[in-house]
Amino acid sequence: MSERRDITINVPVLARVEGEGTLDLHIVGDRIEQLRLRIFEPPRLFEKFLEGRGYRDVPDMVARICGICPVAYQMSAVHAIEQAFDMDPGPWVRDMRRLFYCGEWLQSHALHIHLLAAPDFLGFVTAVAMAEKFPEEVRRGLHLQELGNAIIRLLGARSVHPVGARVGGFFHAPRPEDAAALLARLRAALPDAEALVRWVASLPVPDDVQDFTCVSLRQPNEYPMNEGRLVSSHGLDLAIRSYREHFREFHAPHSTALHSSLDDQPYLVGPLARLNLNLDRLPEPVLGNLQATGVRFPSTNMFHSALARAVEIHCALWEAIRLLEGYRPAEPYIEATPRAGVGYGCTEAPRGILWHRFEMDEQGRVVNTDIVPPTAQNQARIEQDLHRSLSAFGLDHAPESLRLRAEMVIRNYDPCISCATHFLHLNLERQ
């Protein structure tokens, strides 16, 4: 007979995630009786106060949903509204939006790897502590993060809540000399990105293979960012407007983040899902550098998410260089022509697909909107992973070890809780 103990732990605030939450864990003997990830970011009700707003305000408003990935919100929104207005801003704007997005991937992924995730794998509490032992690695990471911010500033004047994007394109075209100066800095950092991929591949991660469904966008001939069809590792292939036919959101009472399911099953979005589904869309040098590490993708080890992020840093840097090499200023936007209609936007935020639906009236005001952020989509998957990973880790571990392992599992998803939603108290009950 198993030993029966009653233990309750209350750990205030999960560190190194963007937001706050609680994990309720109830263990009976050698079995998890209940596991609930409770996200209690105070609801800010963006979808409601967007109603009645003119289309010009929308990019500045949706950016405020998330300070870590404002570009993603702006991009999903402008694509949705342009579809509703039946506008096509053309190839220059398309290229610049891709460049803008590269900046956000670089800064967000570099922030996550160095300041949030790597301390887990190397056994430090904070990145500042890690910086004493790994000064070069941390400096390299902060440099890549800054380059991402510099790309966003080129088009958006500042990196948090940038002000350059508008429905129809951008407010300005960067000056060629500014683009050239940035290009030189990005080229100089390519060896850093390659070395980063090798370093992350060498970090000790748990060998934890599991079965899960990946979902991402997919494009005919490029790694997905702003557009594409929705695909899954189980054969789904869907236009973004049909999202609601297969994906469902439900409100679990223990959380302010709405949960999502795909055909009633949890699924994964984000870097690992993207890379697993788009390996053949990586630029050749990026793929080659990854293959040289010996780590094989597609991977079903969730802890390869960090490596996937590093690969996407390399990819984003490579893409940004390509886009800037051909840079010429052009008319930065087309004038919006409001009309009543519905439009959809789905882009690959650093943490995964960010789906928007906007219904507009003939004056160009928002009638209603529907926003599905990536962390909400991952929440059911995180709970599923915790169930599995904690059982595999061993439920007889001391409460402190269980909490650390749970935090590591959760952090691995880079949950951007403010998007949906706050983070981790662990309430552990044992019988």
Partner 1 sequence: MKPRVAVHKFSSCDGCQLAFLNMGEELITLTRLIELVHFAEAGLVNEDAPVDIAFVEGSVSTPHEVERILRVREHSRFVVSLGACATAGGIQALRNMADTGRWLAGVYARPEVIEVLPHSTPVHEHIRVDLELWGCPVNSQQVIEAVRSLLAGAAPVDHRDKLCLECKRRNQVCVLVARGGPCMGPVTRTGCGALCPSLGRDCFGCYGPAENTNTGALGRRFAGFGFVPEEIAQRFLLINNAAEPFHGEGRRWQGDGQ
Assess 61 for contact with partner 1 (CB under 8 A): yes
Q: Give min distance, CB of 314 to partner 1, in A.
A: 20
Contact with partner 1 (CB under 8 A) among 27, 84, 111, 410 = 111
Nearer to partner 1, 142 or 367 (CB): 142
Q: Give min distance, CB of 35 to partner 1, in A.
A: 19
Instruction: Point out which span in 42-50, 175-183, 210-218, 312-320 binds partner 1 (CB under 8 A).
Output: 42-50
Instruction: Point out which span in 26-34, 139-147, 228-236, 384-392 binds partner 1 (CB under 8 A).
Output: 139-147
Q: What is the 3-state secondary structure (H, E, C) of the chain?
A: CCCCCCCCCECCCCCCCECCEEEEEEEECCEEEEEEEEECCCCCCHHHHCCCCEHHHHHHHHHCCCCCCHHHHHHHHHHHHHHHHCCCCCHHHHHHHHHHHHHHHHHHHHHHHHHHHHHHHHCCCCHHHHHHHCHHHHHHHHHHHHHHHHHHHHHHCCCCCCCCEECCEECCCCCHHHHHHHHHHHHHHHHHHHHHHHHHHHCCCCCCECCCCEEEEECCCCCCCCCCEEEECCCCEECHHHHHHHEEEECCCCCCCCEEEECCECCECCHHHHHHHHHHHCCHHHHHHHHCCCCCCCCCEHHHHHHHHHHHHHHHHHHHHHHHHCCCCCCCECCCCCCCEEEEEEEEECCEEEEEEEEECCCCEEEEEEEECHHHHHHHHHHHHHHHHHHHHCCCCCHHHHHHHHHHHHHCCCCEHHHHCCCCEEEEEEC
Nearer to partner 1, 121 or 223 (CB): 121
Assess 416 for contact with partner 1 (CB under 8 A): yes
Assess 204 for contact with partner 1 (CB under 8 A): no
Assess 1 for contact with partner 1 (CB under 8 A): no
Contact with partner 1 (CB under 8 A) among 9, 142, 238, 395 = 142
Number of residues engaging partner 1 in binding (CB under 8 A): 66
Assess 311 for contact with partner 1 (CB under 8 A): no
Assess 253 for contact with partner 1 (CB under 8 A): yes
Instruction: Point out which span in 123-131, 196-204, 240-248, 316-324 binds partner 1 (CB under 8 A).
Output: 123-131
Contact with partner 1 (CB under 8 A) among 9, 28, 90, 171 = 171
Instruction: Point out which span in 48-56, 286-294, 305-313, 375-383 binds partner 1 (CB under 8 A).
Output: 48-56
Assess 283 for contact with partner 1 (CB under 8 A): no
Assess 125 for contact with partner 1 (CB under 8 A): yes
Assess 244 for contact with partner 1 (CB under 8 A): no
Helix axes 399-411, 374-393, angle to 10 degrees: 140
Distance CA 422, CA 13 (A): 9
Q: Give min distance, CB of 63 to partner 1, in A.
A: 8
Contact with partner 1 (CB under 8 A) among 2, 31, 34, 54 = 54
Residues that bind partner 1 (CB under 8 A): 12-20, 40-49, 53-54, 57, 60-61, 64-68, 70, 107, 111, 115-116, 119, 125-128, 131, 138-139, 142-143, 145-146, 149, 157-161, 163-164, 166, 171-172, 250-251, 253-254, 256, 258, 416, 418, 423
